[in-house]
Structure 1
């Protein structure tokens, strides 16, 4: 592995990560050929052992961290599952352990270490505790989606380990509940009862798409490296508009690495039968757990569209287990801020994460003010829809890179000079949009509409 790493000029940890995602394909075939329809015990052993094997291959002795988290979660469910104390203790332990891990491994670069699997497993096990908590409630006190996931009894030790270490979403996600994992083990995720899911062709197509996107990512990195943002050429020699253009292109190129790895991971997940959704027209859709909705992402005309299509599965988890649980607050803005704060610290301690998610708040809500303004503008509404869509697409394409500069460069002494070189334009634009245009919209709105709002 070391030789291959040196030959390709790629960190060994990165190769092992990609290797673990690719390894999920043959493992999915083994499950399909040898374990599908077999006893739940044999399948749980298969998922637990293969997942632990992949974790050890990626992180060596640091597998102990995921083992501790999984074993502790089982203990909480076993001994406190019927108690109201299980959920807060689970949340505090899993999130606290992850934050401790970030503190131990923090550096100025993106390091692929055990906390990468740890952050995925953290949400999965917290979600498991939430579902057990909902299982203790009567059906008339929980939402429909909560009923579908609620666990009336605590799962066994073997089932918790099989679920936690299942290779379909071990290293790069996605998130899925115990109820869906049980459906897979019980052979329910298929078009015809008793028959293996017809997913091979779909999985191959998704896998090839992932490979193409990964190749495209490498090409884009060559032409638009983020490291160029730190050079004197960019910071002092290039004119303002050229810097703005490069940031936009480099930011979009940077996000392709996530798109490619999520797509690649989704193919193996589809091969097992996960992601199964039967539409109302009788057709089957296998993309229910896709973390990236490529078509929607490429056609996005707003940041709302981008958020729904990018890291969609994680966003759905946060909406389900954090945002909707904050309904009692009675204020959407506070609930949204709580979600963004959770996501920021879930990523780590770096200041850039808090800045990025704070910026997301102003971008998303500032965009809503733009929509209100354009909806009441006769000039804008007189334009053909195709022209308005073109402007929206250009707006998203031109500004998307600015949202993730700090996320890409990670540390303050790298991204601050870049912001300074463009005179903090993106901050000024979105703050003026949020506060300035928001104030204008409220003052110019009819009184009846103001009262409604």
Structure 2
């Protein structure tokens, strides 16, 4: 009997060892290595694509539900994504959001609140860059915090404009000015919205509140008819992702420092540098196209109608792909790349 029990115990231990080995093989680190990427990069890609099931859930179960449920959903999913990518370091974003809410409430619609917001949020971000910087481009908590910093500064400016006489504001300021007093839950939902928390795009609190109130739809009273436009951006993002994955081992910045590169003719070196300079941006293009699809799917990408009555879904567009690929001038790159952030800075 004892021998039989020992044999069973040995079998269980062996089985546990096999299962443990199997789970290790399926770990994200192993998978990332097999794909030639870092674990953090893989986590980022997974998180961006998770926006699609989140958006589908929101469309079918929350689109016209109570506002607090939507804010809770956005906050919970955003925090989950933050924890999945950065672990306990999610406290950086949480701290800045809570402090920003307190700044708005305690200082009110004053220029002091705007200046305090700008100084604190920028100082926190720069300190994060300083203490986490390495010789490489790493995916750390500072990456989404850059997006968050711009978002919270914009929130403070729009809240300040909301206290001014409407006649003294430009048409753009009137569009973004916040007349009400946002709650902590509203600020958290706005900040942690899963379709933009990690890599953007930027959007205003007013635009976010229109989403929560069910106004961003091309069919009043129904969920937006945005699946096809979202899939188009997703498909384009996947195209860039596959292209970047396949070509990245062959187009590297390290090659620029090799003797073989120096031995090539001048025209070849210029051409390679031109191709590399364009290619290195494709990882950003991929992320922005995929997240734009998420925003379109939720309705956040709705931007009214064209003159012919066709719905526009470019409110969260961060890329003008055709212009980016065909314009040979540097100004064309600026006009087509990271356009939401550029527009935020311009206003």
What TM-score, normalized by structure 2, do the two folds share? 0.89
Which of the two has greater helix per residue? 1
1:42 aligns with 2:34: no
Tell me which of 274, 277, 301 is aligned to 1:248: 274
Name the SS for the 2:135 alignment partner: coil
Tell me which of 122, 125, 132 is aligned to 1:95: 122
The residue number in structure 2 matching 1:109 is: 136
Pick closer, same or farther for the CA change 1:6–1:305 going to 2, 3 Å. closer
Tell me which of 106, 109, 118 is aligned to 2:145: 118
Which runs of structure 2 are paired with 1:41-440 in the superposition (5 Å)? 41-235=68-262, 237-277=263-303, 278-320=305-347
Q: Deviations over 1:330-382 (max 9, x none)?
A: xxxxxxxxxxxxxxxxxxxxxxxxxxxxxxxxxxxxxxxxxxxxxxxxxxxxx
C-alpha contact 1:134 1:150 (8 A) present in aligned 2: yes
State how far apart, in whole Å, the 1-side matches of 2:268 and 2:236 are.
32
Tell me which of 23, 26, 31 is aligned to 2:58: 31
C-alpha contact 2:202 2:344 (8 A) present in aligned 1: yes
Between 1 and 2, higher relative CO (CA 8 Å, sep ≥ 6) is seen in: 2
Task: State the 1:33 CA deviation.
Answer: 1.1
Name the SS for the 2:220 alignment partner: coil
State how far apart, in whole Å, the 1-side matches of 2:273 and 2:111 are.
49
Name the SS for the 2:248 alignment partner: helix
- The more displaced of 276-285 and 116-125 is 276-285
C-alpha contact 1:81 1:154 (8 A) present in aligned 2: no
The residue number in structure 1 matching 2:24 is: none
State how far apart, in whole Å, the 1-side matches of 2:184 and 2:67 are.
13
State how far apart, in whole Å, the 1-side matches of 2:137 and 2:191 are.
24
1:16 aligns with 2:24: no
C-alpha contact 2:63 2:212 (8 A) present in aligned 1: yes
C-alpha contact 2:324 2:333 (8 A) present in aligned 1: yes
State how far apart, in whole Å, the 1-side matches of 2:269 and 2:65 are.
58
Pick closer, same or farther for the CA change 1:63–1:79 going to 2, 3 Å. same
State how far apart, in whole Å, the 1-side matches of 2:135 and 2:125 are.
18
Name the SS for the 2:249 alignment partner: helix
State how far apart, in whole Å, the 2-side matches of 1:129 and 1:211 are.
36
- The more displaced of 251-260 and 174-183 is 251-260
The residue number in structure 2 matching 1:339 is: none
Task: State the 1:301 CA deviation.
Answer: 4.7
The residue number in structure 2 matching 1:418 is: none
State how far apart, in whole Å, the 1-side matches of 2:249 and 2:38 are.
16
Task: State the 1:218 CA deviation.
Answer: 1.9
Runs of 4+ in 1 over 3 A off after TM superposition: none
State how far apart, in whole Å, the 1-side matches of 2:340 and 2:151 are.
12
C-alpha contact 2:219 2:225 (8 A) present in aligned 1: no
Task: State the 1:253 CA deviation.
Answer: 1.3
State how far apart, in whole Å, the 2-side matches of 1:315 and 1:269 are.
19
Task: State the 1:306 CA deviation.
Answer: 2.1
- Give the gaps of 5 or more residues in structure 2: 1-27
